[in-house]
Amino acid sequence: MQKKIAVVLSGCGFLDGAEIHESVLTMLHVTKSGAALHCFAPDIKQTTVTSHLTRDSLGESRSVLAESARIARCDIGDLKKLDAKDFDAVIFPGGFGAALNLCNFGTKGADCTVHPEVERVINAFHQAKKPIGAICIAPAIVARVLGNKGVELTIGTDPGTAQTLEKLGARHVNKKVTEIHYDEKNRVATTPAYMLAQNIAEVDAGVSRLVAKIIEVC
């Protein structure tokens, strides 16, 4: 039976959406493993639209779903339609979109809330004992939803960010950029990626290991 992996995107570009390298490398390694892949994103407006040239706000309005479709090459579904019973695992790439569009950790820190559809998806995979992968800053979403389960995860090496996740009940694990952590009890795999990476090859090393672990355990 071919395994089926859902990938949840949050826009297109690391300053206001999904981190593009992390998203593409997730898609690459899922596909190379022989698993089937389908992308999803919430059908909402982006919290902000940022110039990746100047880092200034563009004052525009863009759709998270339509911008995510750039990475997915049009083959994407509304997150509302993601049913855990149809997939063996779910993976969340990083980028500020994960912390601004899928939740508001980027502005609220430990007081953050998670988009209801994202929360529903994480709880559904967790309850079905299906693995959840989270890359870069995306473990913050998992910390908010599964902190009450004492979920273990990576976030990089910034003590302030790690402490914020621990306030949510999560246990932070220091890992190198090329490493992953796998919480066996909660079936959650995480890797620091661009929280630490100096280049795309380092991201590839961590993401390829995370995808391999997800495929192994699902």
Residues with a catalytic annotation lie at: 136
- Given 53, 59, 85, 184, the residue binding a second copy (CB under 8 A): 53
Q: Rule CB under 8 A: say whether 148 interacts with a second copy.
A: no
Shortest distance in whole angstroms from residue 183 CB to a second copy:
28
Which tokens is 123 given? Answer: 């709880």
Shortest distance in whole angstroms from residue 138 CB to a second copy:
17
- Given 73, 127, 160, 184, the residue binding a second copy (CB under 8 A): 73
Residues in the chain: 218
Which tokens is 37 given? Answer: 């892949």
Q: Rule CB under 8 A: say whether 107 interacts with a second copy.
A: no
Residues 181-200: x/- map of binding to a second copy (CB under 8 A)? ------------------xx
Q: Rule CB under 8 A: say whether 117 interacts with a second copy.
A: no
Q: Rule CB under 8 A: say whether 104 interacts with a second copy.
A: no
Shortest distance in whole angstroms from residue 146 CB to a second copy:
29
Task: Please work out the total of residues on this chain that contact a second copy, with binding judged by CB under 8 A.
Answer: 34
Nearest alpha carbon to residue 153 among 126, 127, 184: 184
Q: Rule CB under 8 A: say whether 21 interacts with a second copy.
A: yes
Closer residue to a second copy, CB minimum distance, 65 or 91:
65
Which tokens is 112 given? Answer: 């953050």
Contact 67/58 with Cβ under 8 angstroms? Answer: no
Question: For binding to a second copy (CB under 8 A), which residues are involved?
Answer: 12-15, 17, 20-21, 24-25, 27-28, 31-32, 51-55, 60, 63, 65-67, 69-74, 76, 199-201, 204
